[in-house]
Structure 1
Amino acid sequence: MRQSKTVTAFLVLTAAVSLAARQSSTSQPQQRPTFRSGTNLVLVDVYPMKDGRILQNLEQTDFEVFEDGKPQKVENFQFIKVEGRAPEAEKRDPNTQEEGNELAADPKNRVFVVYLDTKGVSIEGAYRSRRPLVEMLNRIMAPNDLFGVVTTEMAPAQLVLGRKLLTTEDMLARYWPWGQRGSIMRTQEEQNLNQCTISPTTNKEMYVDDRGIQRRMIDVMIDRLREDKALEHLESTITYMSGLRQTRTALIVFTEGWLLFQTDLGLLTPLQVFKSYDNTPAIGTANGRPIISTSAQAGSGAACLREMTRLAMLDNRTRYNDLLRRAARANVVFYPVNPIGLTMFDYPIWQDATPTMPTDPNQEPKMLLVEQLNRIKDRADGLLQAAETTGGIAVVNTNKIESGLDRIAAQLEAYYVLGYYSTNQAFDGRYRQISVKLKVPGVQISARKGYTAPTKAEMAAMDAPKVVVAPEVAAAETAKADALGMLSRIRGSAELYGAGVQTKTGEV
């Protein structure tokens, strides 16, 4: 009970602070290169790695940049080496969410977003991750770096970027029980599913075959519902972050992974019992006689069929692939971290799970442990795919997540920024693919994958005369900013709540 109250208090506090973020949030455009005076300057951040470290001392002539296969002339070149950590007292947080987003657009400022998959991490995983996460942030955060924390319980547009770590360290230490995977607690939507998994003919829970294992239908459907919502939130996060900056945004995702459910027609068979209940009223008359039904399914057969059919027909594998391609295009790089470490069990201990007996007497039933290991492997494979597709590093299948976080820090300790003016002067709103080659052999590079060109209408809007704001309106906006500035002094909780390309050797 004490733990529940603690988490509730945390959510209330973070919701209050996130209100300020909502007041200052503005709609973010899709990722666009920076355009100045009618010319399109495109920035490309490049991370050349050799022996686990960034290769330094490279020259501008060592790089070749191509847009849609056509060579581009590199006009701007800069090597950025991350400075050492500054004392917290010397760091200055942005006063508003808008100011933080403006600072994020500067390629010299690195941006880290910690993504907490609350429904996808167990309470044990949340506990194990808190100290390594803080230590990694302490190690990699330079004076001008920005970071924020997003959870699946918030809208991505509530992300607030800041620089100070002390308050966030305290929040992570005090409110570590954020992991909810395997919890018996259910949302209202999940509770509503329960009536759809109780047979109206027997009034008993229905069981289904789930990859060779007999499980309660409610558990299977809640797994699908949670993954559906997790991917939906990730999609929204990628969309929001794609408008923040041209150069890399590091998305450090704490999750135990996803199974990426696909269509399972076998889940539809038990649902046919609801068809006869489509027109049965809970209270009313039938054949001229009054009735009061005691069935939980009365009047809800059609609704059950719709939602359960939707969940059974999910194709999350295709959806996940599309999500990662979008992230790569937006230069949002995944650094997935599975904090639970090595384990042999995937099902929560309180759930029923027994092997399905095969109809063929000569066939052996599937071993429960084998299926659990298969599920763990599927989750890890998805996280590895996320890192490979976007150019990041995955920390999976290890009890020492600190060493994995060290590898992430090493990749981000320095980088090169190349700037070129595109030879394609068309404002057509189309995606343009960027590739970078390095003349130095034996080097693995990760770089920006591409960008979306602006349209003629967007260019016209950028060239339109600026609107002069009346003094009284400007004063009101200043007062609003000052109020948000005051809130930013307690923004630690806002920081916590506040929100297919493979790399090749020498080419990306």
Structure 2
Amino acid sequence: MLFQLPRKASLLVAAVLAAGALDSASAQPPPVFRSGVTLVTTDVIVRDGDGQFLPDLTLDDFTIYEDGQPQRIASLVLVHGGRVFNQLLPPPPVPEGIILPGRTAPAASATPGRIFVIFIDDLHIRPPDTPLIHRVMDLLPETLIHEGDEFGIISSGKSAIRVQMTSDRNRLRAIDRAVGEAFDPRQLIERATQLSSLGESRWRAHVAFKTAIETVRGLEQIRHRRKAFLYVSAGYNFNPFDDSRVNARIESMQQVGFFEGVDLPEFDEPALDQFATTDAFGEVFSDSELHNELLLLIDEANRANVSFYTIDVRGLTTIPDLDFDLRTTEWNEYIRKQHSSLRTLAELTGGIAVVNRNTFREAFTEIDAETSDYYVLGFYSSNPDETRRSRELRVEVAREGAEVRSRTHYLLPFPDAPPAAPPGAAAVSPTEAPGSARR
């Protein structure tokens, strides 16, 4: 796609290019360097046997493997107590086709040590649970978001929360606008009488995933930092209460006289066959469809060095509400799939799943410790095969008794994939405005 510059910008660019051409007319043109190598970064948390972070590791203590092959470490950044210590940084990337000037001074990075995105998935939180969102999120200034931290806030639904990356903790009050709008079990079952009754539920999930993916792509612009994505949601289930929904369809048919004069035990009607009914409504492969959506989001997060910390504000869930006519086994299966989706997002991106627990303050303290002390390793892959998109990662530390926690894999983008969205195009645009370190 071609973009046309404004007239003033076009004149400015033309003037700069003309001046550069006059200055270099009598001089030998400098060489043109091209670079198509991408720096792969991964965060690593190293603790001793007592659970204490080890901040004294050097480049020689780390070995990183990609698909079992050792890689040469090109960058090493230590973040300790929220402060950034650049032990080894690679030279700045060279844009393809740009003529390098003779001398250049390296620019100092102003990126803060801790970066958070708070994602309120109000499309998947029921309205009665809205006070729980506010009660849990009110703990953030006390336990997790400190002075000097950069954070952004975005929602998936009609709450329309959008706070660009900032260090002003007063902007956390925007979360007060969050209002849940998810379907409750009764609505999900009653809508089963409609054709493709789960279409809107899947559309809502797709909107949430798309919003998260666009935000993660914006965070990819920030290098050598661990980016924490606080994913506030009740989770996902593409085939909820399947038994009750099938029974609701049959009752609806009985009310309109569909079975009048028919001997039900001998009537071979697909509507009475649960498997045939769910198959006809495209629900048999619902779990596979959900897994595919989750993996797309996980791949984007691992590529951008983003860790998901999923948070279910409902806390400990046991039995269904009394006003829902549901079997306990059906309710438990519904909750299990929701929690499984949140755990998958967290575990496959190096984060923590805060689900089925009421100790939110302790959970935020644990997340605070993880995001305050870590290393970021960078390397250029020795495998040039772009068709091998899935790469396994393993990090070893030459310190006896050390416990290492790092990402297990990353995925290369498709060769024809568009570049990462620039800041301003993402749902929450990360900026590199100066921010003081946390005290």
Normalising by structure 2, we get a TM-score of 0.61
Q: Deviation per CA, 1:292-343, whole angstroms, max 9, x where unpaired?
A: xxxxxxxxxxxxxx99955645513443355244255333322111111223
1:36-435 alignment, distance < 5 Å: 37-49=35-47, 54-83=53-82, 109-137=113-141, 139-141=143-145, 145-153=149-157, 160-169=164-173, 171-173=174-176, 175-176=177-178, 178-181=179-182, 215-218=189-192, 224-225=198-199, 227-240=201-214, 241-245=216-220, 247-261=225-239, 267=246, 270=250, 310=281, 312-313=283-284, 315-320=286-291, 323-324=294-295, 325-327=298-300, 329-330=302-303, 331-346=305-320, 350-351=323-324, 353=325, 368-425=327-384, 430-435=389-394
Kindly state the Cα deviation for residue 225 of structure 1 after the two structures are TM-superposed.
Answer: 4.1
Structure 1 residues not aligned, in runs of 5+: 1-34, 85-104, 191-214, 274-305, 355-367, 460-480, 485-493, 496-508
Give the deviation of 1:137 after TM superposition.
4.4
Structure with greater proportional helix content: 1
User: How far did 1:49 drift?
Assistant: 4.5
Over the aligned positions, Cα root-mean-square deviation in angstroms equals: 4.7
Shift of 1:445: 0.5
Structure 2 distance, partners of 1:402, 1:138, is 9
1:454-493, aligned counterparts within 5 Å?
Answer: 455=415
State the alpha-carbon separation in 1 of the partners of residues 392 and 110 from structure 2.
22
Contact map agreement 1:125 1:179 (CA 8 A) in 2: yes
8 Å CA contact retained: 1:64, 1:436: yes
* 1:117 and 1:230 in contact (8 A); partners too: no
Q: Secondary structure at 2:405's aligned position in 1?
A: strand
Contact 2:394 2:406 in 1 (8 A): no
The question of whether the paired residues in 1 share the 8 Å contact of 2:237 and 2:290 is answered with no
- AA aligned opposite 2:344: Q
Residue of structure 2 equivalent to 1:446: 406
Output one character per residue of 1:223-277: Cα deviation in whole Å (capped at 9) or x when no partner.
844541343124313432135325543221212223342896984975997xxxx
Q: Render the CA deviation track for 1:361-409: whole Å, top value 9, x for unaligned.
A: xxxxxxx234333433333333223322222111122222211121111
Change over 3 Å in CA distance of 1:128–1:326 after alignment to 2:
same
Residues in 2 aligned to 1:432 and 1:106: alpha-carbon distance in whole angstroms: 31
Tell me if structure 2 keeps the 8 A contact 1:248–1:333: yes
Residue equivalent to 1:193: none
Name the CA distance, whole Å, in 1 between partners of 2:151 and 2:290.
27
3-state secondary structure, aligned to 1:377: helix
Partner of 1:436: helix, strand, or coil?
strand
**Change in CA separation of 1:402 and 1:41 when aligned onto 2, cut-off 3 Å:** same
